[in-house]
Structure 1
Amino acid sequence: MIRTADRPGVRVVTLDRPERRNALTPDGLDELEAAVADADRPVVSLRGEGSAFCAGADLDVVADLTREEAEAFAERGQRVADAIETCDTVVVAGIDGPARGGGVELALACDLRVATPEATFAEPGAKFGLFGAWGGTVRLPRIVGEGEALDLALSGRTVDAEAALRMGLVSRVTDDPGAVADELADNDPETLRTIAERVRDRSDPATQRAREAEAFGRLVARVGDGVADPRDRD
């Protein structure tokens, strides 16, 4: 269900179940978590095979779950999204085609969301009695604001790539999301990790500022340890 390929600086992680629009089962979630956690490249490029990015949870699986099993499935999805958000690599979601429900939530956990013009986004759960429970009610309002998050989740409406860009749901719209991952991989890996770690930090502002200064000092000290002098950059 999950396929990986490594190239210089980038691990490409592909959701490879196109016949189900890359919908994820519990086993598929575990495979995805392992594929990201095992990456030994500074950047991970997350993509979907075929015409969709990800349809979210496989509803054929969800329909047969007991209440307790459904709660466990939600917790499993939350764990995987948390693992993506906190991993040591920078994760870029390359969204080409539909992202629905859990597919949106996995993208929200990534550091960057880069869409093609064909990408569309929706949290359609309210139409059939569900909602996004892989951390969607936490990350969506944090990223697009409470008003936009409620509108998307309560209405179940679909937005295109340009609308997603305007509301901050995606970072860029481009024909080749994979090229953005390659662009990031040209930068210093330790600096990439540090920036992602600092931006992800949910501590109080004073703690964040102290950690920011400490991290900057650590990076500056690396210049004397053989890292290229920043003054040599264009």
Structure 2
Amino acid sequence: MIRSERADGGDYRVVTVDRPAARNALRPADLDALEAAVVEATEPVVLLRGAGDAFCAGADLDVVADLSDPAAFAAHGQRVAAGIEDADAVVVAGIDGPARGGGVELALACDVRIATPRATFAESGVRFGLFGAWGGTVRLPRVLREGDAMEFALSGRTIDAEEARRIGLVSRVVPDPATVAAELAGNEPDALAVVKRRLRDGAPVAEREAAEREAFARLHAAHGPEIARDRKD
């Protein structure tokens, strides 16, 4: 089950994977509902979290054990992760408790990853002959240095929040990731959307620089007068 609601008193949306008895493991229908909740959000920031004492255990192993088309299942997860990554909103993964396998991949698809001291991370699939195939092998070396990405993915070991911060898997360790979502949502929405697009752009450098110039000019046309007034105040 996926819950989606506007934060109380905040300008951001909270999307919750709500299967605490299954450590928020994801079934195909959950993946679709999750993507829809994030992509359809109209707020500038989305906080993605898990209910109970886990962030997300990844794919539901009961589903994985009975797959008739494993490649299609992987493609499904890849599409959802790409949808989260490409969403208009800035997506913050608020990781409180374990993130395993697909849960790590889900976090990697988010724009910002924030952990609590209770967060732990592992790509444990290698221990029973599988690995995360929802875009994890693509995004992990983009987020971490190659050596750290290799060691984390190949070892299957569990790391805590502070080690995750040290290697760059998360940006901060805080008591409540909602404080970071609220902090980001306090910024100007147009600027948030533009900066996300520019940082996500995989085009050649010259094209990215041109797009950056054009985006800056658009924002300046919209908000330049406000800046001038603020300087006078």
How does the TM-score come out when normalised to structure 1? 0.95
CA RMSD in angstroms comes to 1.5
Structure 2: which amino acid aligns with 1:90?
V
How does the TM-score come out when normalised to structure 2? 0.96
1:186-216 CA-to-partner distances (Å, cap 9, x unmatched) read 1100000000000001111111111111111
Query: Is 1:170 aligned to residue 170 of structure 2?
Result: yes
Structure 1: which amino acid aligns with 2:60?
D
* Correspondences of 1:215-226 after superposition (within 5 Å): 215-223=215-223
SS in 2 for 1:103: helix
1:119-138 CA-to-partner distances (Å, cap 9, x unmatched) read 00000111001001000000
Runs of 4+ in 1 over 6 A off after TM superposition: none
Aligned to 2:134: 134
Structure 2: which amino acid aligns with 1:33?
E
Q: Give the Cα separation in 2 of the matches to 1:227 and 1:200.
A: 27
Q: Give the Cα separation in 2 of the matches to 1:76 and 1:24.
A: 12
Number of positions where the alignment pairs a residue of Structure 1 with one of Structure 2: 231
Which residues of structure 1 form unaligned runs of 5+?
none
Match of 1:47 among 26, 46, 49: 49
1:7-51 CA-to-partner distances (Å, cap 9, x unmatched) read 331110000000000000000000001101110100000000000
SS in 1 for 2:47: strand
Aligned to 2:15: 13
Aligned to 2:31: 29
1:230 Cα offset (Å): 7.9
1:153 Cα offset (Å): 1.2
Q: Give the Cα separation in 2 of the matches to 1:233 and 1:124.
A: 57
Q: Give the Cα separation in 2 of the matches to 1:140 and 1:119.
A: 18
1:150 Cα offset (Å): 1.1
1:223 Cα offset (Å): 2.2
Q: Give the Cα separation in 2 of the matches to 1:222 and 1:85.
A: 26
Distance 1:140 1:231, change over 3 A: same
